[in-house]
Every structure is written in C-alpha cells, then in structure tokens.
C-alpha cells in the first residue's frame, strides 16, 4: 500500500493529536504526585545496615544530585528549613557472581541493593511517598589479572547503582507511584 505525502501528514497529525488528547506526559517532569506547596527538601544521612563502609554517603549524594537536577525541589541543609524530609536506610547490599571465566573464577558480578526510602512532610509527619523494599541491581566486570581494576569497576558500579536508585525513586515520587 502506497500512501501519499498528504495522507502521511494527516496520519502524523492524528497520532500527535491523540497523544495530546489522552493526557500523555513524561514521568518525572510534572510533579503531579506531590503537593506543589512542597518546595524545600532535606535529605537526611542514610542509614547503613550493610558491611560496605560509607555506602550511605554514596546513596545520599546520589539522591541530592538527582533532586537538584530535577529542579522541582530546592535542597536545604537542615530539616527545620524543609517542607519535606527524605529518609533512607540501606537494608541490604549483596555482591553475587553473575558469569564465570575459565578456572571457575567470576568474570562478572552483580550488586543488589534494597533500600527503605520515605519522603515525609516535616510539620505533620505525613508520608508523601514510601517504599520499604526499593531494590535495584548493577553489574560490573571482574578482572582476573588486576585486583585494582576489579575494585575500580566495583566502586564505579556502586556509584552508578546509587544514581540509578535515586533516578528511579525520584521519578516514582513525582509520579505518585
């Protein structure tokens, strides 16, 4: 079937109109899930129930960076300056082998994290959004010849996992899921 340029034009117009009419929008840009009066957010120091030192700082920094990038909220240093407080506790962080190389040595590993996250109004304590078992994974390569390369890959993967966790949680907070 051959369509003329005019038919193609009207099909495109129809498709775009239907997207507009159905209320389609990009998640994480409108902030419809949170009261517009909530403008200032304080991110508390995350708890760390794992054996991984300083991981709470990595995750807290990722959440602060994501909130700043989003532009919907202003980050404040103290809870008493905030309209809402974001709290997090890293409940579980596990490394597991994902793929093996010759000699039964790990060639790739996976981080799996579970975080308890909540956003609460500071004055009332009302929970605006919470997920007590927010989980994500991140993979990285293991070097059979260099422990320092493996450690660098492991740390980079952990930073990316923290960033991905913050990104996903931020989108869910704004969308009300």
Work out the pLDDT band at 25, boundaries 50, 70, 90: very low
Task: Spell out the residues 6+ positions from residue 83 whose beta carbon is closer than 8 angstroms to its own.
Answer: 37, 38, 39, 40, 41, 121, 122, 123
Domain that holds residue 144: 28-175
Q: Which residue has the tokens 């909530």?
A: 38
In a domain, 6, yes or no: no
Report the alpha-carbon distance of residue 80 to residue 84 in Å, rounded.
9
Would 103 be classed as within a structural domain? Answer: yes
Q: Residue 85: pLDDT above 70?
A: yes
- 42-59 average pLDDT score: 97
Where residue 155 sits, what CATH number does that domain have? 3.30.160.150
Q: Is residue 20 part of a domain?
A: no
pLDDT by residue (tens digit) across 114-138? 999 999 999 999 999 999 999 999 9
Tell me, yes or no, whether 22 lies in a domain: no
User: What are 29-45's pLDDT values in tens digits?
Assistant: 444 678 899 999 999 99
Q: Which of 139, 133, 102 is nearest to 118 (CA)?
A: 133
């Amino acid at each position: 079937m051959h369509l003329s340029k005019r038919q193609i034009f009207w099909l495109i117009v129809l498709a775009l109109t239907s997207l507009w009419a159905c209320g389609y929008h990009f998640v994480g840009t409108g902030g419809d899930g949170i009261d517009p009066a909530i403008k200032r957010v304080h991110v508390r120091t995350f708890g760390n129930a794992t054996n991984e030192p300083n991981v709470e700082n990595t995750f807290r920094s990722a959440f602060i960076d994501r909130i700043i990038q989003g532009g919907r909220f202003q980050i404040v240093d103290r809870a008493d300056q905030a309209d809402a407080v974001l709290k997090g506790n890293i409940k579980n962080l596990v490394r597991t082998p994902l793929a093996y190389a010759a000699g039964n040595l790990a060639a790739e590993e996976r981080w799996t994290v579970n975080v308890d996250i909540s956003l609460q109004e500071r004055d009332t304590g009302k929970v605006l959004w919470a997920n007590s078992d927010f989980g994500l994974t991140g993979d990285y390569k293991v070097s059979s010849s260099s422990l320092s390369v493996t450690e660098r890959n492991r740390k980079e993967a952990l930073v990316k996992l923290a960033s991905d966790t913050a990104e996903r949680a931020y989108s869910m907070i704004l969308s009300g899921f």
